[in-house]
Chain A
């Protein structure tokens, strides 16, 4: 019954490693997002996909590469992890609409710790 799910919930890794976070939504939504929430709780959008196509890319380092195999999935791959990548990453989804007038449904978050 989970609407937006993410795996893993916790991820602890060494600097320089490559890791992936997976996200799936079963709401039939057209649009999916990745957000980064830092230690001060500031939530910032990273990417947005609509029907598997990238529509928002917010000046994120190209070490971060989203991949959407279908509109129900949006995975986030991170290369060469750095200390500053430590944060909680949230996946979200919403219906299409074009004007941002739809509520977003968030996953439970993935807490990434880079050592």
Chain B
């Protein structure tokens, strides 16, 4: 399968803790993207990391990419209740096509 596979499928942590989600894939990629989906909503783009990059930051988000292991991780620091959502990785192999995983469902408990 070309799709990214997220791990864990579900994660529940206390507010203020860090949340780490992982994504593994099987093919070569142009870039890897992370998206958030709040319940009943469309996906929102968070971060794009290119195949020649190893780490990117955006606010409380940190994404790493290890192309030798074909894996990426998304770290959310100092989590907040509003971070409760599903998080998807999507791999891009070109031709404007993204292949999404099934997502990690993150719950932040107050």
Contacts and interface: CB of A to CB of B under 8 A. Distances in A.
Interface of A: 4, 31, 35, 40-45, 48, 50, 55-56, 90, 92, 94, 96-109
Nearest to B99: A45
Which of the four size classes fits the interface of chain B?
A: 20 to 34
B81 interface: no
A99 B92 CA distance: 8
A61 B44 CA distance: 28
Interface of B: 30-31, 33, 35, 37, 40-45, 48, 50, 86, 88, 92-100, 102-103, 105
Contacts, number: 75
Which among B37, B95, B96, B99 has the greatest number of chain A C-beta atoms within 10 A? Answer: B96
Contacts of B99: 45
Contacts of B93: 100
Given A41-B86, A98-B96, A103 B42 contact: no
A104 B95 contact: no
